Amino acid sequence: MATIKAAIPGVFYRRPAPTEDPYVQAGDTIVPGQTIALIEVMKNFNEVKAEQAGTVAGFLVEDGDEVSIGEDIVELKN
Amino acid sequence: MSELLVHRGGLHTTVQDIGRDGHYSLGIPPSGAMDQYSYRVANMLVGNPDGAAALEVTYVGPRIEFTDDRYVAVTGAEAAVTVNSEPVERWSTLTVRAGDVLDFAMLTAGARPYIAVSGGIGVDSYLGSRSTYTLTGLGGFQGRALKNDDRLPLGDDSVAPPTVGSTVPEKLRPTFPEVATLRTMIGLCSYRITDESMREFTEVPWKVTKDADRIGYRLRGGSLRFVDRKVPHGAGSDPANVVDLGYPIGSIQVPGGDEPIVLLNDAVTAGGYATVGTVVSVDRDTIAQTKSGDQVRFEPVDLDAALAARRDRRERLERTRESLRR
C-alpha cells in the first residue's frame, strides 16, 4: 500500500487550526498538491501536500505526535 | 547570464559564509554556516577561496538550475543528490552546464546539506559578510531564505578547482551518531544550578525539540534544580534569572530548569538567563547536523581541550585539502 511520508521532522497536525475540521478524513479522495496535514518545526507550520492521487485509508500517526523524516504518516489505497 | 534559477527554495535555504564577526556588541550575531567544516570543504571542492558564500540547506533541499558552466559540490547532511535526475556523488567536485538542474531527495541523516558553486554566491557583502541573518532581514539574498523563482547572482568564476571527480574520503566526512556529543565548557552561571543537577546535565541525553533553528536549539530530557538565593539587585525573580550578561555563542541557558536552549549562529546577544555552559565552537558543527527528534549529550571539557579541538578541525581541513587531486 502506498504511503505519504514526512519530509521534515516536527509536530504533526491534521487541522489548519485547533477549532477547524481536519484537512482530510479516512475515505476521502485526494489529488496531487492537496494539503493533507501540517508539520510544525522551526516556529513554522509547514503544509504536507499529497504527491499522488488516491484515497485515504487511514492516518498512521495521531494529531500532535512528533514525526521524523521519512516516517509514514498516511496510508493510501488506490 | 550567470545566475542560479531557484525552481524550489526548499524549507529554509540561506546564503551563508564564515560569518559576520565583530558586531556582537551592537546586537548583531555572526550568522554564517552552522556547520563550518562541511561549508569550508564544499568551497575547497569547487576551488573557491575559503570565505566564499555558499547555500545552507535545512531538512528539505532546493531545486536549482544553472545558467552557465560551473563547478558545484554538495557536502554536509546526507540526502541523495541528482543532476538532471541522474544520481551524482556528494562530497565531490562536479561540473554543470547551462540548463542543468540540481535536485535533492529526502534527507537520510544529518540536518543541513551545503551547496558550493564556483565563483560563490554573488550577493552584496554587508558589514564584511554575505551571510543571511533572517531575524532582522540583513545580509544574504534580500535578508531571507530562498523562495521559489528567485534568481541568485553568482560571482566571477576564475577558480582552479580540484580535478573533476575528486572526492573527500569517508574518514574525513562528519558522522551522524545516534546521540551526538557536544563538548562543553561549564560556566558562566553554573553556580545557579545544584551540584547534583549539574551532574544530571552532563549525564542525561537531551532530545532536540521542534524549536530548533539557527537562533538556538531547545532541548528536553532532564530537570535541573536551582540553588536557593536572595535575588540580587538587577536580576529577575525567576530562579533562572541573573543580572543581564552577554550570551556567548554556543552558550546554554536553562529557563525553567527543564528546557535548555543552546544559542547558535543567529543568537540573541544578551539577556538575563543563567548560562550553565558553552558548547565549544567546533562542536557547533555537530549540533548543526542534529534535527528535531535527535539526541545530544554535553561532555564537560576545559579550555585546553576546547582549543585542541579547534586545532584538530584545522588539521582535518588541511588533510582534506591535500586529499583532493589537482
User: pLDDT tens digits, residue range A10-47?
Assistant: 999 999 999 999 999 999 999 999 999 999 999 899 99
Q: Parallel, antiparallel, or unpaired: how do β-strands A10-13 and A35-41 relate?
A: antiparallel
Integer Cα distance of B57 and B114 in angstroms: 6
Between B254 and B157, name the one with better pLDDT: B254
Residue B130: per-residue pLDDT: 98
- Per-residue pLDDT, averaged over B230-259, amounts to 93
Percent of chain B with pLDDT over 70: 99
Exposed, middle or buried, A52 (CB in 10 Å: 0-12/13-18/19+)? exposed
Contacts of A41 in chain B (CB under 8 A): 59, 210, 212, 292
**Residue B111 main-chain phi, psi, to 5 deg:** -135, -30
Question: How does pLDDT run across B39-95, given as a tens digit for each residue?
Answer: 999 999 999 999 999 999 999 999 999 999 999 999 999 999 999 999 999 999 999
| Residue B89 and residue B96 in contact, taking contact as beta carbons nearer than 8 Å | no
Residues forming CATH 2.40.100.10 domain(s) in chain B: 179-312
Chain A residue numbers with beta carbons less than 8 Å from the beta carbon of B291 are 9, 69
Supply the pLDDT for residue B326. Answer: 67
Write down the mean pLDDT value for chain A.
Answer: 94
Residues of B in contact with A12 (CB under 8 A): none
Residue of B272, B252, B255, B112 lying closest to B183 (CA atoms): B252
Instruction: Return the domain boundaries, chain A.
Output: 3-77
Q: Is B311 exposed, middle or buried (0-12, 13-18, 19+ CB in 10 A)?
A: exposed
Question: Region B269-274: what's the mean pLDDT?
Answer: 94
User: What is the C-alpha separation between B139 and A1, in angstroms, rounded?
Assistant: 46
Predicted confidence at residue B312, as pLDDT, reads 98
Are B292 and A66 an interchain contact pair (Cβ–Cβ within 8 Å)? yes
CATH class assigned to B179-312: mainly beta
Indicate the residue of A5, A7, A40 with minimum beta-carbon distance to B60: A7
pLDDT at site B72: 98
**Does residue B1 register a pLDDT over 70?**
no
Strand ranges (DSSP E) for chain B?
A: 3-8, 14-16, 54-56, 63-66, 70-83, 86-88, 94-96, 101-117, 151-153, 179-186, 206-212, 216-220, 241-246, 251-253, 261-263, 270-273, 275-279, 295-300
pLDDT class of B192 with cuts at 50, 70, 90: very high
CATH number of A3-77: 2.40.50.100
CA gap B34, B56 in Å, rounded: 8
